[in-house]
Amino acid sequence: MDTSGKSGSTISLYNARTGKIEKITPVIKTDEEWRAQLTPEQFNVSRKQGTEYAFTGKYHAFKEHGIYSCVCCGTNLFLSDVKFDSGTGWPSFSAPVSPLNVRTHNDTSGGMVRTEVLCARCGAHLGHVFDDGPLPTGKRYCMNSAALDFKKTP
């Protein structure tokens, strides 16, 4: 059962289009509901912590101006202004639109120690963040194209 809008609790998220912080209801769905909404690749990456192969995602070399959002719930995540070519084969960003819009946690899967990046509204797996990005943040948010949607801005 889709429980988005029914939990009664809200979280604060930054809306990159309006420049305002808004109170939003978290999105909670069953695997079956996510499968009905997403492509198999989107489901595997965003709901099952998968990853796409390097240099295969539609946004890794993409250069349009706009906002990258969560493919699952539409939460604004990254602006094209902070996207850079990391040479890794995944879209890379130096910072999210707001720390409110992402969560992180330690990921020790695959025998590695990394920091996983999740959507703060729906918990979608987006990718990982590393400390080898450009100044001023020094961060590289290495995201999966399959976890992102893009909306062009003027």
Report, as residue numbers or ranges, the catalytic residues: 142
Provide the 10 A C-beta neighbour count for residue 56. Answer: 12
CB 71 within 8 A of CB 38: yes
Cis peptide before 154 (omega within 30 of 0): no
Provide the 10 A C-beta neighbour count for residue 8. Answer: 6
Report how far apart the first and last C-alpha atoms of the chain are (Å, whole number): 38
Reported as half-sphere exposure (CB side, CA atoms, 13 A), residue 8 has a value of 0
Cα–Cα nearest to 70, from 136, 105, 24, 115: 24
